[in-house]
Structure 1
Amino acid sequence: MRSRKKIDAARVLSDMKEKQQRYEALVHAFHADIYRYAYYLVRDKSTAEDIVQETFLRAWRSLDALKDEKSAKAWLITIVRRENARRFEKKQLDIVEFDETTVADDTSFADSSVHHSDMQKLLAGLALEYREPLVLQLLFGYSGEEIAQQLNLNKNTVMTRLFRARNQLRDIVSKQTEVRGHRNG
């Protein structure tokens, strides 16, 4: 009887250690990406940190539900989106202007002629319905189909939003270039 309890206790400890290692690997691999995504959603450093903390807390509690390690990032992004939605259920937050906060981020964007801080401002100017799919594509490299799954949208809707977001950004950049040319000319 004692040996059986020792075996059960050893198995429990082993399972706990394995869960702790899986969780630590998950946090180590995705924390920066998850924070960056939360920041793009809320545009406030402390709120993004809170959302990320809640996200990883929920991830710890539900870690056993994650069966496919390849879907971990998508799983975490879903948790981030739900945590962001929960904060609106809890209370109304003060409105913060986008230009008031900045965050250091070394992510490189495809168009090197636009500085990173300028790109953040441009993205912040887009409506959430256009910004969210574009950020998922730019930051995480998700395909249209993967974005559609994340946002619970039709793939064609996602592709249309990505197309419109890029066109809006292109128009804004070209207008800024024109204005700079007129000032210098």
Structure 2
Amino acid sequence: MSQLTTTFSNTLPKSETPAAREIRFQNLIGKHMTDLFHYAYWLVHDKTVAEDLVQETMLRAWKAMDRLKKPEAAKGWLITILRRENTRRFERFQPQFSAIPAEALEEKRQDYDTSTEAFVLRNAIAELPEEYREPLLLQVIHGYSQKEIAAELGISVAGAGTRLFRARKKLRTLVEPVQD
């Protein structure tokens, strides 16, 4: 057991007052609040949800504060709690199913585009070399991110970006009318 842990454990009276407990809590985690919020915001990309996650994290940390053995590990402990709170958020999520029958959805589906522009575009895409056509279709048709395309094709993220750039460039030259 480290010197700090021993000192911290020995300074806690068995019957701690609520005010003393609050001061101990503030000393333990107060300096990590900004980092927690930044991490939560990075996870969810929504300020309100991030604030809620931090608040839930603080509540769980308050309840479990006496189980923290090493005060110097408080930041990692809090981040773990926050990550688990984020996971719980999805466990509680209950998707609402639509009352629209499947047949009605099929009726709303758009038909195949038979315009001249669509025909030219399909032919131009077919003319692309496969190494450029595949990442472009993964992004445009399937909605994959550059990172997902890289994983799917077994290439680097930068390589996927390069292929997407070159695919668009070649496609543009195939579709644009020739200038005299």
Which of the pair has the greater relative contact order for Cα pairs under 8 Å at 6+ separation? 1
State TM-score, norm by structure 1. Answer: 0.44
Structure 1 or 2: more helix by fraction: 1
